[in-house]
Amino acid sequence: MKAIILAAGRGSRMKELTDDKPKCMVKFKGRELLDWQVESLKKSGISEIGIVTGYQKDKIIHKDLSYFIENEQWQNSNMVFSLFCAKGWFQNSDFIVSYSDIFYTADAVKKLINSDYDIAITFDKNFTNLWQQRLDDPLSDLESFKIDKNGFLTQIGKKANSLDEIEGQFMGLLKFTANGWKKAEKILSKYDIKKLDCTSALQILIENQIKIKAVGIDDMWGEVDNYNDLKLYERIY
């Protein structure tokens, strides 16, 4: 099992936090987000961890990263394009994909690894309380997230008009088996991958009859969009 961290983007919503460094190097509780990610991935049993760089690429340093590749088009591409940049490294392996502006526990990764499905994602089951603390209007940031009675994702990434359309919050962690990636690549390659974000790609896969297992998590987790997020997480965790 490998893991790839997608860290090419500027993280524009972080504003001054990323003026002089990529978003994965922003500190939470005195440690870079990248260090939190690598630690959790290693504790889950993953030994090969790669990263896709772009903005401020020379600032990304970590002794436990075994593979670096640059998305040279980071300024006009999205996460799916970054993922495709690294496919030569992971495409014959089972692998985890991680956003770079998040933190999570090793247990969350283990639950994802142990899922018996070709494609799986983690989601925060208790997102409502967290988003109400982060935002005055949670619906301004949240997107639709629906699962069926068997725990498979049925909708993600659409504009949500009410909390009834949101049964969880995607955490930015995914798993592909080698077979799962083969199926996903075949479908997504038909689209302009530069313009695809991750949730749009997942919705495309769903619409093409690809099963995606949603693994509920109630461990410590957060995504960092701004300074207020950091202060909130440092207070509640």
Looking up residue 64, the CATH number of its domain turns out to be 3.90.550.10
Q: Are strands 119-124 and 67-70 parallel, antiparallel or unpaired?
A: unpaired
Instruction: Tell me if 175 sits within 8 A of 113, measured CB to CB.
Output: yes
pLDDT recorded at residue 43: 98
Rounded to whole angstroms, the Cα distance separating 171 from 233 reads 15
pLDDT recorded at residue 54: 97
Which residues does the chain have with pLDDT short of 50?
Answer: none
Task: Tell whether the torsion through CA atoms of 21, 25, 28 and 33 is positive or negative.
Answer: positive
Instruction: Tell me if 77 sits within 8 A of 71, measured CB to CB.
Output: yes
Q: Which domain holds residue 153?
A: 2-236
pLDDT recorded at residue 26: 95
- C-alpha distances (whole Å) from 169 to each of 4, 28, 32, 72, 150 are 21, 21, 23, 30, 17
Rounded to whole angstroms, the Cα distance separating 67 from 16 reads 28
pLDDT recorded at residue 125: 92
Residue 153 Cα to chain centre, angstroms: 16
> What is the residue-averaged pLDDT of the chain?
95
pLDDT recorded at residue 23: 95
How many structural domains does the chain have?
A: 1
Instruction: Show the beta-strand stretches assigned E in 8-79.
Output: 27-28, 31-32, 48-53, 67-70
pLDDT recorded at residue 181: 98
pLDDT recorded at residue 166: 95
pLDDT recorded at residue 234: 94
Q: Among 186, 2, 5, 168, which residue's Cα sits nearest to residue 83?
A: 5
Q: Which amino acid is at 145?
A: F
Q: Among 166, 177, 34, 12, which residue's Cα sits nearest to residue 99?
A: 34
Helices 178-188 and 198-207: crossing angle, nearest 10°?
Answer: 90
pTM of the shown model: 0.96
Q: Look up tokens 């593979």; give the residue.
A: 67
pLDDT recorded at residue 148: 97
> Hey, what's the torsion of the CAs at 110, 212, 65, 91, to 10 degrees?
130
